[in-house]
């Protein structure tokens, strides 16, 4: 956006006796993307701009077009007309970027390269150091508020414990900025992101339970939950979902075909006896133990259903599947997926993380002590 302002592509423009401030012509912008090596061709440039529209970053000046059209149409960055939605996620991200810039520009910054267990980590700091700095710089009124800010940064993936084993605490535990805000990113990186919405809304959800009988004629099975209710869940193949997401799977050589009947709707009733919060799970002395499960997916998936959010829980486990063999049980809470802390995420996002990750799945779960 700033480069386009500098290049005078964004300016006040007159059309049909009306002046539209701070806008650009779509066709000119596509030319600019190619000229400045931000896109290899027009098709990619259009896809990039559509991505920005989908994320509410740009829009048509009159909101008459929901698609980005490579034509003489006027579009505008929402930050230039005050319509950019400042959600909680965006506010936390912007706060993290502001703190990072302030830290790296300081002499004797607390951000340093440090070593732990013979591994070097970039952009690290001790939790108590960060608390001291936040209070000293007026970024937080007291240590409690500073801890809450640190926890929000961690839950939004901006900082993390170096080995991803702890939440943020006022202690001498080592953390790092997971995002290097000063690394220049290319627009084409947007196209490498996976759409969790597309995956989660697909009828071939990866978290439908796997098929007990691989016979093509038997496309569903009964799963008895702890609440004694019976539900029918359509079976799907992991390869089918990855093909729908536009990714080729390294684990399946043949092209998958979708030959299953319409999916039966899962019973939405939670298997949990009562809602549980992250604070309850993480509080000192809480009656939960953490377990690490290594699940090697087979040709029809991993064999479990995850539901809920903040935290997510295991809703169902196929008794004959890989997850059950690894020790997964219903009502466990999902703490991390392949080393990433996920207690703050919803099940659609966790579904996407698992689907786009390796076939061997490493999950940390929290289980109630009986």
For the segment 33-78, what is each residue's pLDDT rounded down to a tens digit? Answer: 999 999 999 999 999 999 999 888 999 999 988 899 999 999 999 9
Q: Which residues of the chain have pLDDT under 50?
A: 195-267
**Cβ atoms 93, 153 nearer than 8 A:** no
Q: Which of 177, 200, 234 is the last residue of a domain?
A: 177
Two tokens, residue 232: 């029918």
Full domain range(s) for residue 72:
1-77
Q: Give the model's pLDDT for residue 177.
A: 94
Q: Which of 51, 77, 103 is the last residue of a domain?
A: 77
For the segment 225-259, what is each residue's pLDDT rounded down to a tens digit? Answer: 333 333 333 333 333 333 333 333 333 333 333 23
Q: What is the rounded CA–CA span in Å between residue 209 and residue 305? A: 6
Two tokens, residue 363: 């999950």
CATH of the domain at 61: 1.10.10.10
- From start to end of the chain, where are the E strands? 11-15, 18-25, 58-60, 74-77, 112-116, 119-126, 159-161, 174-177, 220-224, 230-234, 288-296, 304-308, 312-317, 333-337, 340-341, 360-368
Mark whether 92 and 73 lie in a shared domain. Answer: no
Q: Which of 15, 48, 77 is the last residue of a domain?
A: 77
Q: Give the model's pLDDT for residue 256.
A: 33
Mark whether 49 and 118 lie in a shared domain. Answer: no
Mark whether 106 and 50 lie in a shared domain. Answer: no
Judge if pTM exceeds 0.75: no
Q: What is the DSSP string of 2-65?
A: HHHHHTT-SEEEEETTEEEEEEEEHHHHHHHHHHTTS-SSHHHHHHHHHHHHHTTSEEETTS--
197: enclosing H helix or E strand = helix 196-201
Q: What is the mean pLDDT of the chain?
A: 79
Q: Which residues contact 350 (CB under 8 A, 6 or more apart)?
A: 306, 312, 334, 337, 342
Tell whether 289 is covered by a domain: yes
- Number of structural domains in the chain: 3
Terminal alpha carbon distance of the chain:
56
Tell whether 149 is covered by a domain: yes
Helix 143-155 and helix 127-136, axial crossing angle in degrees, nearest 10: 120
**Cβ atoms 291, 272 nearer than 8 A:** no
């Amino acid at each position: 956006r700033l480069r386009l302002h500098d290049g005078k592509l964004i300016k006040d423009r007159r059309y049909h006796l009306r002046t539209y401030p701070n806008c650009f012509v779509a066709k000119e912008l596509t030319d600019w993307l190619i000229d400045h090596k931000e896109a290899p061709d027009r098709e990619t440039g259009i896809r990039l701009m559509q991505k920005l529209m989908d994320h509410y970053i740009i829009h048509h000046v009159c909101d008459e077009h929901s698609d980005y059209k490579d034509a003489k149409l006027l579009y505008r960055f929402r930050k230039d007309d005050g319509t950019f939605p400042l959600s909680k996620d965006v506010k936390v991200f912007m706060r993290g970027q502001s703190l990072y810039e302030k830290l790296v520009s300081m002499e004797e910054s607390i951000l340093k390269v440090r070593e732990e267990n013979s591994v070097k980590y970039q952009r690290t700091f001790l939790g108590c150091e960060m608390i001291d700095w936040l209070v000293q710089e007026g970024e937080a009124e007291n240590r409690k508020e500073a801890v809450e800010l640190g926890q929000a940064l961690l839950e939004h993936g901006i900082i993390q414990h170096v080995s991803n084993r702890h939440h943020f605490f006022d202690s001498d535990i080592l953390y790092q900025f997971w995002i290097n805000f000063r690394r220049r990113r290319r627009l084409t990186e947007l196209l490498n992101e996976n759409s969790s919405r597309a995956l989660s809304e697909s009828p071939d959800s990866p978290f439908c339970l796997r098929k007990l009988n691989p016979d093509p004629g038997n496309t569903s099975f009964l799963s008895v939950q702890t609440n004694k209710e019976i539900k029918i869940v359509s079976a799907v193949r992991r390869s089918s979902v990855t093909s729908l997401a536009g990714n080729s799977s390294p684990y399946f050589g043949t092209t998958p075909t979708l030959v299953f009947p319409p999916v039966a709707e899962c019973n939405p009733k939670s298997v949990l006896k009562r809602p549980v919060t992250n604070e309850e799970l993480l509080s000192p002395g809480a009656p939960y133990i953490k377990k690490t499960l290594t699940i090697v997916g087979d040709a029809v998936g991993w064999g479990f259903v995850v539901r809920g959010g903040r935290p997510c829980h295991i809703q169902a486990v196929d008794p004959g599947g890989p997850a059950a063999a690894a020790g997964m049980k219903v009502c466990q809470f999902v703490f991390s997926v392949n080393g990433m802390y996920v207690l703050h995420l919803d099940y659609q996002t966790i579904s996407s993380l698992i689907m786009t990750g390796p076939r061997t799945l490493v999950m940390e779960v929290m289980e109630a002590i009986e």
